[in-house]
């Protein structure tokens, strides 16, 4: 295990993967749906007046409430903020184009991976609402016919959940949209197709985390700008993490702006190592570099050609992880910057 003491990496006896790596590892054995979208029997829809149809909700105890073991004394707090969080694709091994939202095995992944590693970054700072939805199979991203239909089918759940939330739970609070991967794509569509058409709702949206948008050349939005500074509101943030030096075939003009979640700017300046606040690790502790006596380098990031380049040092045997990650840190978009996200969220939303 990686042992944590006095904010330092002090002893290495055995290296284990981040639990969130299962986002990627699960995909290694993914199956392909056997029929067309039209041939499938539609799964029953979630009913959002039933609290059990929410993965996270302020009126029940769930994994979004958990704080890292060495952050239990965190005193940051905010009033009148709601986070509407939509989790990423975790449906890899089914044979249908859309998941059953009552799938117990899938819902366990949602709780232990998505809520615990991602949505928890807002724990104690906001009321967190995350609807179960009939998510599109991972293979939908590779099928332009069935995939598009399955995506739109899943999106209807997200939109219905958001409408129910607005009518029954919001109570005038400020709203933050947060997603990852497929969840981000649904939130982008929600913003474009519903929220921007309703000025009274748009005024409530203070910030959007459009994280892990793998198809980053596809998203551009009129009427809701990109965040340019660490304190901007009424704007969106977006990044997708890769090892330092990763190249991408698209032209630079094809990409939307990318946020550096350490500096919170979209220029190409690399962040200093001592600006990084901490990684949420698999033992559910925050791992930081250095202390007052000695600064250990762990992580630096910079924006390059629409990607977020991440350089990691003094993290023993991390190179071994790359063969599992396939040269892509997409699964760790929240974990790698967990403390920076949390502290910056407080900084932004603390402004009235």
pLDDT at 255: 54
Say what the pLDDT of residue 306 is: 83
Give the separation between CA 23 and CA 41, rounded to whole angstroms.
Answer: 27
The CB-based long-range contact list for 3-10 (8 Å cut-off, 24+ gap) reads 4/70, 4/281, 4/283, 4/285, 4/287, 6/291, 7/288, 7/289, 7/290, 7/291, 8/288, 8/289, 8/290, 8/291, 8/294, 8/296, 9/287, 9/289, 9/296, 9/298, 9/314, 9/315, 9/316
**What pLDDT does residue 4 have?**
24
pLDDT in tens for each of the 352 residues of the chain? 222 223 332 222 222 334 444 444 444 456 889 899 999 998 999 999 999 999 999 999 999 999 998 888 888 889 999 999 999 999 998 999 999 999 999 999 999 999 999 999 999 999 999 999 999 999 999 998 999 999 999 999 999 999 999 999 999 999 999 999 999 999 999 999 999 999 999 999 999 999 998 655 545 567 788 999 999 999 999 999 999 998 877 655 555 678 999 999 988 999 999 999 999 988 899 988 654 334 567 899 999 888 899 998 876 556 566 656 667 899 999 999 999 999 999 999 997 5
State how far Cα 272 lies from the chain centre.
Answer: 23
DSSP output for 44-58: PPP-TTSGGGEEE-T
Question: What is the CB-side half-sphere exposure of residue 85 using CA atoms within 13 A?
Answer: 31
Q: How many domains does the chain have?
A: 1
> Judging by DSSP bridges, how do beta strands 174-180 and 205-211 pair with one another?
parallel
Domain that holds residue 100: 2-350
Question: What per-residue confidence (pLDDT) applies to 288?
Answer: 81
Tracing tokens 């474009």 back to the chain, one arrives at: 192
Q: How far is Cα 118 from Cα 108, in angstroms, rounded to an integer? A: 15
Question: How much of the chain is in helix, strand and coil states, percent to nearest 5?
Answer: 35, 20, 45
Residue 324: CB partners within 8 Å, gap ≥ 6? 17, 21, 24, 25
Give 312's contacts (C-beta < 8 A, 6+ positions apart).
298, 299, 318
DSSP 66-132: ---GGGTT-----SSEEEEEE------S-SSSB--TT-HHHHHHIIIIIIHHTGGGGTTTSEEEEE-
Residue 101 vs residues 21, 71, 78, 206, 346: alpha-carbon distances, Å: 22, 32, 31, 29, 32
Give the DSSP H or E segment for 187: helix 182-193
């Amino acid at each position: 295990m990686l042992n944590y003491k006095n904010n330092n990496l002090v002893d290495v006896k055995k290296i284990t993967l981040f639990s969130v790596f299962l986002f990627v590892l699960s995909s290694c054995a993914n199956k392909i749906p056997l029929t067309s979208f039209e041939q499938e029997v539609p799964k029953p829809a979630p009913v959002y007046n039933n609290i059990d149809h929410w993965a996270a909700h302020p009126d029940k105890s769930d994994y979004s409430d958990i704080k890292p073991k060495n952050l239990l004394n965190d005193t940051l707090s905010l009033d009148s903020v709601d986070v509407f969080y939509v989790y990423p694709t975790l449906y890899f091994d089914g044979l249908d184009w859309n998941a059953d939202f009552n799938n117990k095995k899938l819902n366990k992944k949602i709780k232990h991976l998505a809520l615990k590693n991602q949505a928890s970054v807002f724990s104690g700072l906001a009321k967190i609402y995350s609807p179960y939805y009939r998510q599109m199979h991972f293979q939908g991203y590779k099928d332009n016919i069935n995939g598009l239909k399955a995506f739109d089918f899943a999106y209807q759940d997200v939109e219905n959940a958001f409408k129910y939330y607005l009518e029954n739970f919001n109570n005038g609070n400020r709203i933050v949209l947060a997603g990852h991967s497929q969840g981000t794509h649904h939130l982008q569509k929600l913003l474009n197709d519903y929220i921007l058409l309703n000025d009274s709702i748009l005024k409530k949206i203070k910030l959007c985390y459009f994280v892990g948008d793998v198809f980053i050349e596809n998203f551009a939005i009129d009427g809701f700008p990109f965040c340019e500074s660490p304190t901007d509101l009424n704007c969106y943030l977006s990044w997708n993490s890769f090892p330092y030096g990763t190249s991408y075939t698209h032209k630079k003009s094809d990409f939307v702006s990318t946020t550096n979640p350490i500096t919170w700017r979209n220029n190409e300046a690399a962040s200093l190592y001592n600006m990084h606040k901490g990684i949420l690790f698999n033992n559910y502790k925050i791992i930081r570099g250095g202390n007052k006596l000695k600064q250990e380098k762990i992580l630096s990031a910079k924006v390059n050609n629409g990607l977020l380049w991440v350089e990691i040092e003094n993290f023993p045997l991390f190179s071994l992880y790359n063969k599992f990650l396939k040269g892509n840190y997409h699964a760790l978009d929240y974990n790698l910057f967990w403390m920076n996200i949390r502290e910056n969220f407080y900084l932004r939303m603390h402004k009235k």
